[in-house]
């Protein structure tokens, strides 16, 4: 075989020595270049670009940003109670969103998914009810639950089969099913119990006070068996774990260190010869970090915190620097500090952050008055300028008028853009307080500045390692200023402590990253061993952090109980189902044959069929999966609420689709992630909880959701276009 | 190369077609097509658009069934009812659209529909590790090194995508490989790459049917040439019976000749 390769290469005039026995060892670069030509190769992607390519990454970043946003504006957001109720609200939505995202990856929609949840819950309740002469089967739950599952499977099968047989868009077919469900729920409820509120599922508990033979006696129908499965509760207050906080802290430190290790391993080039002295330095850093944590745990105060910060910086430098010394290849630092371009970008980034801090410092942090009152007489000029500016930008976008018809259309468009901008500016000033404006300006300027500095660092990295180091150092110094500004100038305790520490820590890490990449070579070629190692390390690290966080959420301590600082956080079975289904669906999609087929039928059905994938069967099974998820959610709701309204679930199908799309699933099929859909559901639940917690009217949630959806689709399209970019 | 292989030619050809014909209602799509495919040889099917090339491969691949003539695979007369059946007998077609899912990774595309499994039913999963390894190895055997089998097929160049499709067909036990216009959408350099894969596949003992409308691509790699025009065979030549100039001429002059023949046939049948 190798001989022929040689021959082929010789034909091209490029002769490469190939050892016949060692074909495997041919270097990827040389060989692919020789065979396929260098122009066919893709540029090597940096560590952050490679991370961004995953569909769910956008959702994870979004979830963190939204969490940070609500954490900042709402006092009751982010404590354990809040998190418990977020998960509680996310669970039914998330279970459905996961199923719907599978279906969407398979290239179809199910508009009946929302109404289906209520339908299967109501069917179960009606089967259980015993209402005398008119109806209600009065069955035991042992029969009613499997029976409703069979109905659900049948309905899913029907949806899938009709879509496949008729070739109609699933949009239309499932819209029809949606109306059927809606009618069924109302019709049967009224027919059987003459009420649109269908209750109660605990009829199945029977009549424990009566004995067999009594008037109205009913045997126990398995309620005691099924209830814990669908509505069991884990009460945090009842479960003590003294080492809870230690587990939490260790989880963060160890997990964070592993994630950091993974990022370094992914980014730097491994040296040919390892330097054991580096391992010793790294060990010193680890010991130093452990000692610092112990110190922080036992001492508190302004000076002590300063000492601890410096100690953390030192340990991080020793730890990551030692790691680099041990494993990675050295490089010359270069002596070109700046080019005009990097200087401009850096200056702009620093100026933006400085402007944010200075403007925020100038505004009154206590003022509750509307911005409209603040700008006073200037309000109309501001509105006019905003409108004119938008109209000008619109004019630039629309372009010059070629003829009269064009001119009319352009004028109308530009006028509309200007008017809309003016209207929104006024509305914004009317609704926002000075205090709010301050937070927005600070946040906006700082984020814009950080993005600019990141760009500057990227550009500087192409000039010389020294230039990148200088940009990153300036960035971390800005971080220090920001941290101290927030500590001194914030009203809220959590800003002065938690946000302060996080910013300080991040600034340290940026500096360490800059320092290490000054001396060590960034990897610019694939290294499968390193990629695999870092992937395993990162996953382990995230898992450890997750265990720490879950432990903190699930348990209480005696000290906490004694202080009365307990929160009645209850984790219901719905959350457990949600987690279990997230894990299962991620495995199903990523690791099984069926998962591959889902991507295939959604990505290119024709091709999938040609190559032997049973496309019709796969799609039908996906509709059945959605129906089973709806059945599960219906039961969760039925056991939770006992009585279901006949409108239950109607209209929620779009929320499932939004959650899936926010999680990175493409509307066109063939791309997406179930894990992302679960995160999308959590984002939506956060907005449900966070908006009232921020003391806004909860109706604004829909505006918020609309915004998230739009941003998510734009961001995901961008990510996907990178993923599928051809040639 | 062709001389060596024809020396050791087996007595029965891998694929033998005699007077194959196909009708769609009253339209004659294909008529009197005769050729053979031997193991280790490349049979080129040449023809302009609408010459019946697609019908021809669809019959071979089991998408359509022939209405006339005999179709023998390793001496047995065949009539495939579905593409799966043809695939099971070792006839694999690589279509123009390549049957690939652009957003899926190389290894997933490679094994799509026939994923290697691990575990016990119902808990079964794809043996990802060996799937990736095999995909990489098989591609290497075709002379191309895929940097990362995780990368989406959509990011590969046209020539690389062809190589994935060919390597996949070869790995899954194809004896006869049908390539439908593999070079038509490619530039000169990439076409050269694909032509090399074709030779490569033939060297591994496969019978290759290479469909093209470019004699310059066909002549260097082909051992046998079947020229089609408007559903009729314009001739079936071994390489030593024809040179590239004649081949080109036959294809170009075919149109006029064809019209003449059609008039004649109408006159003869007396319609």
Q: Name the token pair of A620.
A: 């039908």
pLDDT in tens, B135-189: 888 888 777 777 678 878 877 777 788 888 888 888 887 888 888 888 877 777 7
- Does B224 or A717 have the greater pLDDT score? B224
B window 91-130, beta carbon within 8 A of A: 95, 97-104, 108, 111-115, 117, 124-126, 128
Parallel/antiparallel/unpaired status of strands B224-229 and B42-47 = parallel
E-strand ranges in A491-608 read 570-572
Distances (CA, A) of A1 to A131, B97, B199: 79, 28, 12
B128, A592: Cβ pair inside 8 Å? Answer: no
- pLDDT, position A30: 35
B window 152-181, beta carbon within 8 A of A: 152, 154-155, 157-160
Q: Does A340 touch chain B (CB under 8 A)?
A: no
Q: Looking at the predicted structure, is the pLDDT value of residue A34 above 50? A: no
Are B221 and B14 a contacting pair, CB within 8 Å?
no
> Out of B102, B137, B199, whose CB is closest to A724?
B102
Q: Residue A596's pLDDT band (boundaries 50, 70, 90)?
A: very high
A window 698-727, beta carbon within 8 A of B: 720, 723-727
Distance from CA of A698 to the nearest CA of B (A): 39
- pLDDT, position A461: 83
Q: Name the token pair of A639.
A: 């056991």
- Which of the residue ranges A104-108, A363-367, B164-168 would you say has the lowest mean pLDDT? A363-367
Across A146-173, average pLDDT: 95
Q: Which residues contact A198 (CB under 8 A, 6 or more apart)?
A: A122, A125, A126, A189, A643, A644, A645, A646
Mean model confidence pLDDT for chain A? 82
> Out of A11, A31, A613, whose CB is closest to B112?
A613
pLDDT in tens, A211-230: 777 777 777 788 889 999 99
Runs of H (alpha helix) within A592-700: 593-603, 605-610, 615-641, 653-662, 674-693
Q: What percent of chain A has pLDDT over 70?
A: 87
ipTM at complex level: 0.74
- Which of the residue ranges A385-399, A561-575, B64-78, B248-262 would you say has the lowest mean pLDDT? B248-262
**R_g of chain B computed on alpha carbons:** 20
A591 interaction partners in chain B (CB closer than 8 Å): 125-126, 128
A11, B196: Cβ pair inside 8 Å? Answer: yes
Distance from CA of B257 to the nearest CA of A (A): 37
Q: Is A614 helix (H, G, I), strand (E, B) or coil?
A: coil
Q: Residue B97's pLDDT band (boundaries 50, 70, 90)?
A: low
Parallel/antiparallel/unpaired status of strands B123-126 and B176-180 = unpaired
pLDDT in tens, A456-507: 988 888 888 888 899 999 999 999 999 888 887 776 777 777 788 888 889 9
B113, A611: Cβ pair inside 8 Å? Answer: yes
Distance from CA of B90 to the nearest CA of A (A): 13
Q: Is B36 helix (H, G, I), strand (E, B) or coil?
A: strand
* Range of A454-458, A563-567, A621-625, B67-71 with top mean pLDDT: A621-625
- pLDDT, position A667: 86
- pLDDT, position A29: 34
B99, A610: Cβ pair inside 8 Å? Answer: yes
Q: Which helix (H) or strand (E) holds B218?
A: helix B215-221
- pLDDT, position A27: 35
Q: Does B185 touch chain A (CB under 8 A)?
A: no
- Which of the residue ranges A478-492, A627-641, B245-259 would you say has the lowest mean pLDDT? B245-259
Q: Name the token pair of A246.
A: 């230690």
- pLDDT, position A448: 92
B100 interaction partners in chain A (CB closer than 8 Å): 604, 607
pLDDT in tens, A649-701: 998 999 999 999 998 898 888 888 999 999 999 998 888 888 877 777 778 78
Question: Which of B82, B122, B127, B145 is the mutation pick for testing A, counting most A CBs within 10 A?
Answer: B145
- pLDDT, position B192: 83
Residue B197: closest C-alpha in chain A: A8
* Range of A133-142, A447-456, A495-504 with top mean pLDDT: A447-456
> Out of B126, B146, B203, whose CB is closest to A593?
B126
> Out of A1, A4, A612, whose CB is closest to B84?
A612
Question: Which of B63, B99, B201, B203 is the mutation pick for testing A, counting most A CBs within 10 A?
Answer: B99
- pLDDT, position A294: 84
Q: Does A617 touch chain B (CB under 8 A)?
A: no
Residue A615: closest C-alpha in chain B: B113
d(CA B178, CA B180): 6
- Phi-psi region for residue A683, left (φ > 0), alpha (ψ -120 to 50) or beta? alpha
Nearest by Cα to A426 from A469, A476, A450, A390 = A390
B128 interaction partners in chain A (CB closer than 8 Å): 591
């Amino acid at each position: 075989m190798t001989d022929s390769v040689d021959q082929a290469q010789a034909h091209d005039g490029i002769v490469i020595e190939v050892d016949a026995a060692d074909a495997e060892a041919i270097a990827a670069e040389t060989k692919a270049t020789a065979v396929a030509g260098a122009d066919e190769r893709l540029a090597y992607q940096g560590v952050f670009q490679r991370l961004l390519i995953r569909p769910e990454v956008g959702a994870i970043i979004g979830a963190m940003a939204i969490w940070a946003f609500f954490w900042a504006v709402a006092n009751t957001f982010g404590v354990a109670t809040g998190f418990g109720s977020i998960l509680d609200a996310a669970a039914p939505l998330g279970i459905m969103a996961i199923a719907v995202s599978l279906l969407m990856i398979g290239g179809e929609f199910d508009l009946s998914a929302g109404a289906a949840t209520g339908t299967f819950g109501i069917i179960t309740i009606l089967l259980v009810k015993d209402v005398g002469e008119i109806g209600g089967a009065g069955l035991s739950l042992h029969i009613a639950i499997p029976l409703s599952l069979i109905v659900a499977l049948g309905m899913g099968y029907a949806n899938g089969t009709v879509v496949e047989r008729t070739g109609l868009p699933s949009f239309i077919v499932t819209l029809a099913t949606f109306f059927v469900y809606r009618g069924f729920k109302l019709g049967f409820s009224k027919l059987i119990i003459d009420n649109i509120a269908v209750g109660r599922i605990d009829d199945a508990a029977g009549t424990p006070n009566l004995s067999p033979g009594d008037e109205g006696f009913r045997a126990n129908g398995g309620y005691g068996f099924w209830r814990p499965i669908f509505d069991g509760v884990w009460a945090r207050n009842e479960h003590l774990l003294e080492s809870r906080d230690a587990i939490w802290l260790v989880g963060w430190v160890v997990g964070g260190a592993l994630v950091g290790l993974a990022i370094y391993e992914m980014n730097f080039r491994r040296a040919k010869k390892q330097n054991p002295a580096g391992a010793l330095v790294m060990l010193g850093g680890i010991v130093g970090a452990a000692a610092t944590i112990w110190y922080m745990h036992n001492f508190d105060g302004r000076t002590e915190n300063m000492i601890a910060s410096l100690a953390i910086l030192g340990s991080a430098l020793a730890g990551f620097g030692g790691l680099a010394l041990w494993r990675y290849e050295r490089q010359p630092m270069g002596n070109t500090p700046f080019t005009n371009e990097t200087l401009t970008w850096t200056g702009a980034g620093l100026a933006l952050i400085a402007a944010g801090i200075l403007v925020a410092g100038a505004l009154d942090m206590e003022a509750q008055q509307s911005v409209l009152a603040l700008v006073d007489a200037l309000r109309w000029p501001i509105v006019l300028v905003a409108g004119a500016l938008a109209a000008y930008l619109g004019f630039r976008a629309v372009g010059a008028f070629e003829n009269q018809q064009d001119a009319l259309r352009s004028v109308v468009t530009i006028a509309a853009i200007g008017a809309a901008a003016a209207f929104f500016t006024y509305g914004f000033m009317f609704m926002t307080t000075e205090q709010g404006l301050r937070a927005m300006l600070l946040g906006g300027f700082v984020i814009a500045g950080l993005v600019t500095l990141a760009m500057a660092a990227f550009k500087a990295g192409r000039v010389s390692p020294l230039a990148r180091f200088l940009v990153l150092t300036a960035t971390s110094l800005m971080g220090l200023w920001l941290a101290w500004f927030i500590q001194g100038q914030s009203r809220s305790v959590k800003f002065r402590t938690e946000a302060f520490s996080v910013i300080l820590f991040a600034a340290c890490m940026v500096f360490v990253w800059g320092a290490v990449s000054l001396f060590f070579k960034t990897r610019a070629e694939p290294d499968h061993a390193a990629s695999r190692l870092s992937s395993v390390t990162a996953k382990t690290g995230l898992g450890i952090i997750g265990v720490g966080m879950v432990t903190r959420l699930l348990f209480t301590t005696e000290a906490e109980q004694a202080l009365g600082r307990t929160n009645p956080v209850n984790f219901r079975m719905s959350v457990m189902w949600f987690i279990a289904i997230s894990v299962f669906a991620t495995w199903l999609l990523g690791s099984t044959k069926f998962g591959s087929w889902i991507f295939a039928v959604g990505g290119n059905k024709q091709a999938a069929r040609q190559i032997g994938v049973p496309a019709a069967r796969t799609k039908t099974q996906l509709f059945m999966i959605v129906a089973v998820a709806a059945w599960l959610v219906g039961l969760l709701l039925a056991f939770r609420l006992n009585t279901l309204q006949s409108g239950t679930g109607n209209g929620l199908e779009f929320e499932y689709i939004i959650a899936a799309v926010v999680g990175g699933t493409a509307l066109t099929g063939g791309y997406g992630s179930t894990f992302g859909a679960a995160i999308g559901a959590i984002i939506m639940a956060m907005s449900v909880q966070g908006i009232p917690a921020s003391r806004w009217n909860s109706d604004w949630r829909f505006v918020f959701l609309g915004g998230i959806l739009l941003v998510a689709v734009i961001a995901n399209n961008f990510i996907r276009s990178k993923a599928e970019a051809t040639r | 190369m062709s001389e060596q292989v024809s020396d050791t030619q087996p007595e029965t050809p891998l694929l033998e077609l005699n007077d194959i014909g196909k009708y769609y209602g009253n339209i004659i799509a294909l008529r009197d097509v005769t050729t053979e495919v031997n193991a280790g040889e490349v049979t080129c099917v040449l023809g302009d658009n609408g010459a019946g090339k697609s019908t021809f491969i669809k019959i071979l691949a089991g998408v359509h069934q022939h209405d006339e003539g005999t179709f023998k695979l390793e001496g047995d007369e065949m009539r495939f009812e579905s593409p799966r059946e043809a695939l099971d007998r070792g006839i694999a077609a690589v279509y123009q659209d390549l049957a690939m899912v652009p957003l899926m990774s190389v290894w997933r595309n490679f094994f799509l529909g026939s994923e290697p499994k691990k575990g016990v039913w119902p808990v079964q999963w794809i043996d990802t590790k060996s799937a990736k390894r095999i995909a990489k190895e098989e591609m290497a055997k075709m002379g191309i090194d895929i940097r990362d089998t995780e990368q989406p097929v959509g990011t590969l160049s046209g020539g690389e995508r062809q190589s994935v499709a060919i390597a996949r067909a070869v790995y899954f036990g194809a004896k006869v490989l049908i390539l439908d216009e593999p070079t038509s959408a490619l530039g000169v350099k990439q076409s050269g790459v694909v032509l090399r894969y074709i030779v490569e596949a033939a060297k591994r003992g496969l019978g290759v049917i290479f469909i093209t409308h470019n004699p310059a691509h066909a002549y260097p790699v082909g051992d046998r040439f079947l020229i089609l025009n408007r559903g009729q065979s314009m001739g079936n030549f071994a390489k030593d019976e024809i040179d590239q100039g004649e081949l080109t001429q036959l294809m170009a002059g075919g149109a006029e000749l064809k019209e003449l023949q059609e008039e004649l046939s109408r006159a003869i049948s007396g319609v």
